[in-house]
Structure 1
């Protein structure tokens, strides 16, 4: 279900989740990331630089922000899984949409929070511009502000900015 006030669009089947497959055949770093990921989440959180942050180049400031957001949401432990839509390639972070969808499909979640509207066209190319809620198969993608935009916000401003996801009940 797309939240009230959210723009919705079904994307084409070609951009939907891949068939479930055996993670032991996945290339690195994806196989290792899978082993560190909670396997029964209700929602996946992703953002462009997550592949770099999980792949050995963490950002302490972003880590603190994410911890504060998790605390704010107060969902039961294991509700959120971080799954990247990118990976490190040398010094650069590059999208790997196929592995993103393979992970989301294998996790079986129906909700994905995307921090940053620039990520949406990468993972759902058929989504309308500026959509806040988009269905891809059985998964609803929720577009949120970037983490850089959330950093300077006051707590009540973050509350408003994240309301589309906060209203989900798990």
Structure 2
């Protein structure tokens, strides 16, 4: 057997043998980050969100209302949507994570785009799928800020517009996202 497959978990060997390698994307060395960039030094609530991200996640989702959902004030329709949508990806558990663009605090949203990019850079995701015009506008307003490292971003309509989507439509969106993962 090829030695390069010896350290691959049994459940992923068939994928590796088939040539699918996005499960095996190398993470950046954590030593590339200064002490101030370490999760233990992040301000609240970013440090609390960090504990919810699987270490193997390479696909991140964000949307404007995610900060509210993570604050425990979630919407059951959004929860139902994600439970319906995520299985279309057929990815191993721990491959997908959620990271908020705006923090919900004191009954208002606070967009913290530089903190969003600084903290998400720690994870080195292959792709961040962004849902909603408000999310897209917040990100595009920071384009002149060249010192902020950006992951690969892909934009989609607001998730509320996708609630009534058919399974076929959700499958097509998941395939579009997966095709961007593989094209990196």
Distance in 2 between the 1:87 and 1:121 partners?
16
Q: How does 1:82-161 map to 2 (within 5 A)?
A: 82-125=98-141, 139-161=151-173
Q: How does 1:18-29 map to 2 (within 5 A)?
A: 21-29=37-45
Quote the offset at 1:46 in angstroms: 0.4
Number of corresponding residues:
144
Quote the offset at 1:119 in angstroms: 1.1
Give 5+ residue unaligned stretches, structure 2.
1-32
Quote the offset at 1:164 in angstroms: 2.2
In structure 1, the partner of 2:62 is 46
- Greater RCO, CA 8 A, separation 6+: 1
TM-score of the pair, normalised by structure 1 = 0.75
Name the one with the larger strand percent: 1
Q: Is the 8 A contact 2:59 2:95 kept in 1?
A: yes
Q: Is the 8 A contact 2:88 2:174 kept in 1?
A: no
3-state secondary structure, aligned to 2:134:
coil
Distance in 1 between the 2:65 and 2:110 partners?
9
Alignment RMSD (CA, Å): 2.2
Distance in 2 between the 1:110 and 1:75 partners?
14
Distance in 2 between the 1:153 and 1:81 partners?
22
Distance in 2 between the 1:104 and 1:72 partners?
24
Q: How does 1:11-90 map to 2 (within 5 A)?
A: 21-90=37-106
What is the CA deviation profile of residues 33-68 of structure 1, one whole-angstrom value per residue up to 9, with x for unaligned ones?
A: 111111231111000000110012111211111011
Distance in 2 between the 1:161 and 1:73 partners?
9
Structure 2 CA distance for partners of 1:152 and 1:34, relative to 1, 3 Å: same
